[in-house]
Amino acid sequence: MLLTILGGCGAWPAAGQACSGYLVEHDGFRLLVDLGHATVPRLLERVGADQIDAVFISHGHPDHCADLNPLLRARTMRDDPPAALPVYSLPGALDAVLALDRPGVLTDAYVLHEFTAGSGFDIGPFRMQTRLLPHSIPNAGIRLTAGERVLAYTGDSGPSPDRVELARGADLLLAEATHVERVPEVSRRYLTSARQAGRQAREADAGHLVLTHLQPGTDASAARAAAGAGYDGEIGIATSGLSFDLS
């Protein structure tokens, strides 16, 4: 399984970067996990829009799904559009982004599969196990398994035992860490710090921790140090263009 970071900014894209977006490949199948602001230009540096096989969106905040619109446009506004793209989301999560174009423009470009948080299903070679994790809107964390490798991704969420359960024994935990040390009181139930993410990675016995969704302007080395206070393994920072080979 190969994970390529398209972007890892929380909330808005920093200069030259993109919001949450991850290309996960296995056995020639290309799955996009989240498609936040500015991820499509990063994607198109690597593969054509028509070479994507499926999309999974953790939740409906635009820093996780806004670029579904340009991806669908790039697939359908051409002379030889590919087959409709399977798109997986929680019920209603994509209503706003799918309404950006007038009715009918993108209708043939996708097939929407809305799933219930907590369910498991297959996307191509990937076994997907989902959990509802606490966020300001419904957010599905996922555990992807393919070829005996496991990638866990939190989407955005506050502290929850399910965050650890999703990542139990995972080869790589891709963990939202919007703040470094402390999450402000107003969002403490909905977001996580790098320090908390490090402790969770240790508790889950994850093989590798990658921090993502850092608020633009965050000192990445401080985030890495905060996570390292609780976790002895390798710690990366999700940045456009980085790849992690889980094989």
Rounded CA-CA distance 239/31 in Å is 18
Rounded CA-CA distance 102/117 in Å is 29
Interface residue with Zn ion among 34, 156, 171, 176 (CB under 5 A) is 156
The least distance separating Zn ion from the CB of residue 153, rounded to whole angstroms, comes to 13
Gyration radius from the chain CA atoms: 17
The least distance separating Zn ion from the CB of residue 64, rounded to whole angstroms, comes to 6
> Cβ closer to Zn ion: 36 or 236?
36
| Side chain identity, residue 12 | W
Stretch that binds Zn ion, among 23-31, 156-164, 170-178, 192-200 (CB under 5 A): 156-164
Chain-centre distance for alpha carbon 208: 16
Interface residue with Zn ion among 42, 61, 179, 213 (CB under 5 A) is 61
Give me the sheet containing 85-89, strands edge to edge.
Answer: 110-114, 85-89, 54-56, 29-35, 21-26, 2-7, 243-245
The least distance separating Zn ion from the CB of residue 65, rounded to whole angstroms, comes to 10
As given in the structure block, the two tokens for residue 121 are 């299903």
> Cβ closer to Zn ion: 67 or 156?
156
Rounded CA-CA distance 236/238 in Å is 6
What is the CB-side half-sphere exposure of residue 232 using CA atoms within 13 A?
2
As given in the structure block, the two tokens for residue 207 are 């093989």
Stretch that binds Zn ion, among 61-69, 75-83, 216-224, 231-239 (CB under 5 A): 61-69
Residues in a beta bridge with 145:
127, 150
The answer to whether residue 179 forms part of the interface with Zn ion (CB under 5 A) is: no
Stretch that binds Zn ion, among 22-30, 59-67, 79-87, 206-214 (CB under 5 A): 59-67
Q: Which residues bind Zn ion (CB under 5 A)?
A: 61, 156
